[in-house]
Structure formats: structure tokens, C-alpha cells
Amino acid sequence: MRYEVKPVTDDMIAKCAAIFETVFAMPPWSENWKHEDAFQRIYDIYSTKNSINLACFDNGEIVGCLFGVLYKWHSGHQFEIKEFFVCAKLQGRGIGKTILHKLESSLSEMGSVEIFLQTLTHDNAIYFYKNQNYTIKSNYSIMGKVIK
């Protein structure tokens, strides 16, 4: 199976948001995204300065997406993967790997770039990233506060 990865364009946002909404409604996330909120989330990242956003196509249909932002860092650049998802019924077929390799290939042209992301510790995504030679950064903590 041959997948094609292309930069996301304006006309792809709604389809990407629909896939996002469906994927993250499933366990382990079980998130209840309204379509307009999913669309806004994806559009906000897409329209951020220095964002890099990729869609993977199979026979002309979007089957996976990656949205992230490139930042300047003292040692080069950092790229934060903000959202990365593959249609649930197509996971495990190399789509995510294809998208990630396209991202890494594009970023390698810039010199030193560290890619980082957040994911659930009890999620299968951890195994996916480990299989792609990503490591858990034990010297980082994610902190948060809910304001009501």
C-alpha cells in the first residue's frame, strides 16, 4: 500500500477535524468533541506561525494527520507535535509511521531539531513512539491548573 503525505491546506481542515473528533472519542481518551470545537482546535494549530501540518492520503482520502509548531531553541529548533491521529479502523497499517518519517525528513533539512509531544502514559501511542526511537524525557513534568 502506497501512502502520500502532503501539507494540509485550508480545504482539508474540516475533514481533518472530523477524523480528530472520531479518533479521540474512542478509548483511552473518550473525549466528547463537538465538531465546531474540533474544527477550531485543528484550525488554531494550522494557522499558528511556523506550524507544520501534514495529511496522509490513501486513494485520495485523508487517513491521518499531524499538526505541530516549530520553535527556535538555543541548540537549534524544537518541534512540538500538538495533534497526531490516524483513522481508528486503519491504525497499525504504517500510516502514522509514514507521516512521522515525512515530518522527520523535512525537519532534518534544518539541522538540529528536537521533536517532542505529550501523550497518555497508559496509551498504545507510547509503544508507537518507542518503536520510532522516541524516548520518555524523565526530567520533564507536565503541570496544569484548571481555572473556573
> Is 51 inside any structural domain?
yes
Place of cell 497508559: 122
Q: Residue 141: is its pLDDT beyond 80?
A: no
> Is 139 inside any structural domain?
no
pLDDT tens-digit map of 96-123: 999 999 999 999 888 778 899 888 776 7
pTM for the model stands at 0.90
Going through the chain in order, the beta strands assigned E by DSSP cover: 4-7, 51-58, 61-73, 76-86, 113-117
Range of the domain at 81: 4-131
Bridge partner list, 55: 6, 65
The 3-class SS string of 37-55 reads: HHHHHHHHHHCCCCEEEEE
The number of folded domains in the chain is 1
Which pLDDT score, from 0 to 100, does residue 119 have?
A: 81
pLDDT tens-digit map of 30-47: 999 999 999 999 999 999
The DSSP bridge pattern shows strands 76-86 and 61-73 to be: antiparallel
> Is 138 inside any structural domain?
no
Peptide bond into 28 cis (omega under 30): yes
> Is 85 inside any structural domain?
yes
Helix (H, G, I), strand (E, B) or coil at 116: strand
| CATH assignment of the domain containing 36 | 3.40.630.30
Which pLDDT score, from 0 to 100, does residue 140 have?
A: 75
